[in-house]
Chains A and B, each alone.
Chain A
Amino acid sequence: MPDAPGLELIRQQINERNADAVLDTTFEHDQPALIADPGQVLAVLRWLRDEPGQQYRFLSSLHAADYLPAEPRFAVHYELLNMPRVERVRVKALLGDPAAGENGAAAAALPEIDSCVELFPTAEFQEREAYDFFGIVFRGHPDLRRILMPEDYVGWPQRRDFPIGGEPVLFTKDEPDSPGWYE
């Protein structure tokens, strides 16, 4: 597991080849993370996968997150694992919301990022899941469509501004206060 100085070394080595590919590093709860530039996240992942001495060759998870009040709003997390050394490192790509403050057709714009299916074939379904729930478009994905929600579903249900759904529950004790609530 790279510690905080080791993480800075990794950042330096990557940025020597791809300028500003790694924007920042964090080391919280003993978990190293690289904050990557969304445009160059593939270069970061490829370097971590192929560089001798790194060899993080297993993508154990790819998921999205919505940090709504924060800006940029979305993030795609790549959890990498080196199996022989049992070492993990996380790559985060922060994505802004192109629909923020827009009206009309522009309000349907979706954040985009490069697909990493060519590097890690396991990402295919996981990117579909991130697309399904957060509406993050992965450029170059071979078959980007909804995976869990029905295909005709409208909306991105795991976003923080999505209504939670369900129905209000009314009990018979509330009958006098709201007669005819079942209509």
Chain B
Amino acid sequence: MNRYLAVALGILTAVGGFVDAGDLVTNAVVGSRYGVSLAWVVVVGVVGITLYAHMAGKVMALSGRATFEVIRERLGPRAALVNLGASLVMTLMTLTAEIGGMALAMQLLTGITPAVWFGIAAVVVWLVIWSVKFSIMENVAGLLGLTLIVFTVSFFALDPDWTVIRSQLMARHAPVHSLSYWYYVVALFGAAMTPYEVFFFSSGAAEEHWGKRDLAISRVNAGVGFPLGGLLSLSIAGCAGMVLAARHVNVDKMSEVVMPVGSALGVVGLTIALVGILAATTGAALETTLSCGYILAQYAGWPWGKRLRPASAPQFHLVMLVCLLIALGVLATGADPIKVTEFSVVFSAVGLPLTYAPVLIVANDPDYVGEHVNGRVVNGFGVVYLGVLTVAAVAAVPLMIVTGMGQ
């Protein structure tokens, strides 16, 4: 049984990273506008995150050092502090959106206003972090999140016109002259490679006590989890492309994201989709809360991890508690959780190179990984991705401003 559940970390990381509250909406928006013609971005993103997550997992398994320790060690205290600030703000924004997303999913399931659910959602997240074992947490959240496969089923049930899909996949009629198109390219790429996925993956590897024997597990986790996340996000875009684009719906609500599933599979499908969204947003809320704790503790050299008693890692738990309170505070002001994630996805693009460059360097350092240094092919891809990440980082904010967030 353990062998089958061994990919849970990869699945939870990817579900939390690819189909969190903001991505759900971004994917549906992109789908309703461009169909699946941005599929290439998802593929590029999946390859990149798989590559780098495995590198970070490898460094953790072989050296016991997590990603943010590596970032501080290689960038020095100041540049690392800048990265810490950016990553923390971005992860906190995502956390805020996830708590909001959980509440929106509960609203759609029960009809009770989201304001009631914010506090409950935050308490549930805190209780899971405080008292549930890491492996149980990742298995339950990851497996329930898999119910989002219902979007893939819906896509086929909607009987797509394959000539249209094929021409979209080849991106033949992509509006390459439209800045909005490139804004969404950067947003989708940033969403696929959000840094907290790597923080969570490498720290989760420590929670699972990965050692030298677990390199294969790291490879399988990254290689199964992230492509699955990519498939789910493509399915959401595909469904939106068929149903929402035809009805000229401009997606800005969670209810519109699940509408295609309703038209394809009826009430049962809709319920499954909502349970999946609830699980995915909860998984992402856990992932982002823990990531806030992980990165601050790793930067400062504090003990961290759910495997320790909370009393043995007090700063780690205090940080997470404060982050949850901040998220609740932001939601209490009436901020739209969906807008919050759209911002966070773009800001995450800005910090990408500062996170991934140190990982690439250390994955080539025999002090850390011994004989398992990266091969030439991996390094070749790694360097190409650093270039792409840098371009995305530079372009992100100007594109956001010029296009008015893709309007």
User: A and B bound?
Assistant: no
- Which residues of B are interface residues toward A (Cβ below 8 A)? none
- Which residues of A are interface residues toward B (Cβ below 8 A)? none
